[in-house]
Amino acid sequence: MPELPDVTVYIDRLQPRIVGDEIRGARVHNPFVLRTVTPPLSAVVGRRVRSVSRLGKRIVIGTEGEMYVVVHLMIAGRLRWREDGKAIGGKLAQASIEFPRGTLYLTEAGSKRRASVHVVEGADALRAFDRGGLEVLDADVNDFATRLRSENHTLKRALTDPRLFSGIGNAYSDEILHRARLSPLALTSRLTDEQVAQLHQATQATLIGWTERLRAEVGSGFPEKVTAFRDGMAVHGRYKLPCPVCGTPVQRIRYADNETNYCARCQTNGRLLADRAMSRLLKQDWPRSIDDVE
């Protein structure tokens, strides 16, 4: 799922392409993607774009008359920009908005249709999409600590809860926790002030660092290779590959459609965290320490 760095770069590249321009056309290619009926998507046609902004992991295109197109990419949704009349055909395109200088497509790979488009009118209607998460790049350590300790969860769950923190998902939470050298299963209520400060610094450094890195990769072009698995990541998507800090094979916890990646030496003092599926299968044979598998 595109997270804060990816969404920020999308917005960076959309702003000079569409802000100030009139929307010339809007089309739904797959009826399921449009989750609102009133106002219709056609209501934004003929209006000029006034803003492109981020709301959590959502991208918001604001037009004249306080009309907003709210796009949530979910896991497999992506934005594509095409110029010179080039189109994206087949089942990949879910919706498109036409501008004078090109067409913005919402695409979604796979058979599950989770990406969504909402069209709303007025600031109050837009606020309904705000989950209330703290904008961590604008927060000092005290605000961060207050939000982190407001509920007792594991660090992995807390960082990825949109009601607590804005824009962080599965991928960058792994990277943040590795940088902070903290276990994904550590409880927020048990962190020391020093560990909270360490996590705050790691969160800001990871998100800022990856945003700048993605900006540099894209240059003046449009992001075409948005993925949760990137070269240069420390642990996310790197199961069994060496940790870049200590060389220990990266471990994982699998659950539902997600997995958490971590380094046992850097983050859990060598202890292997129980995988729900494999630890239950192996029972007493489940290794307790990274030394048991190296």
- Residue 258: the pLDDT is 80
Per-residue pLDDT tens digits for 182-192: 999 999 999 99
The confidence score (pLDDT) of residue 256 equals 67
3-class SS at 121?
strand
- 243-289 per-position pLDDT tens digit: 999 999 999 998 767 889 999 999 999 999 986 544 443 344 334 54
pTM beyond 0.75? yes
Element holding 159 (H helix, E strand): helix 155-160
- Quote the distance between the C-alpha of residue 106 and its chain's center: 16
Q: Which helix (H) or strand (E) holds 132?
A: none
Q: Where are the domains of the chain?
A: 4-127, 136-292
Name which residue leads in pLDDT, 294 or 34: 34
**Enclosing H/E stretch for 92:** none
DSSP-assigned letters across all residues of 173-187: HHHHHHHHT--TT-B
With 0-12 CB in 10 A as exposed, 13-18 as middle and 19+ as buried, what is 246? exposed
Which of 189-203, 207-221, 275-289 is predicted least confidently? 275-289
Residue 110 is predicted with a pLDDT of 82
Look at residue 125 and give its three-state secondary structure: helix
Residue with tokens 């981020």: 54
- What is the DSSP code string of 11-60? HHHHHHHHTTPBP-EEEESSGGGB---SS-GGGGTTPBEEEEEEETTEEE
Burial of 190 (0-12, 13-18, 19+ CB in 10 A): exposed
Architecture of 4-127 per CATH? Alpha-Beta Barrel (3.20)
Distance CA 121, CA 118 (A): 10
Q: State the first-to-last Cα distance of the chain, in angstroms, to the nearest integer.
A: 32
The pLDDT value recorded for residue 137 is 97
Q: Is the pLDDT of residue 226 over 90?
A: yes
What is the rounded average pLDDT of the residues 93-119? 94
Enter the CATH code of domain 136-292: 1.10.8.50
What per-residue confidence (pLDDT) applies to 113? 85
Share of the chain above pLDDT 90, in %: 85
Please name the helix (run of DSSP H) or strand (run of DSSP E) that holds residue 116, with its range, or none.
strand 116-121
Of residues 280 and 219, the one with the higher pLDDT is 219
**209 closest CA partner among 178, 241, 186, 253:** 178
| pLDDT, averaged across the chain | 92
CA-closest candidate to residue 181, choices 170, 194, 171, 168? 194
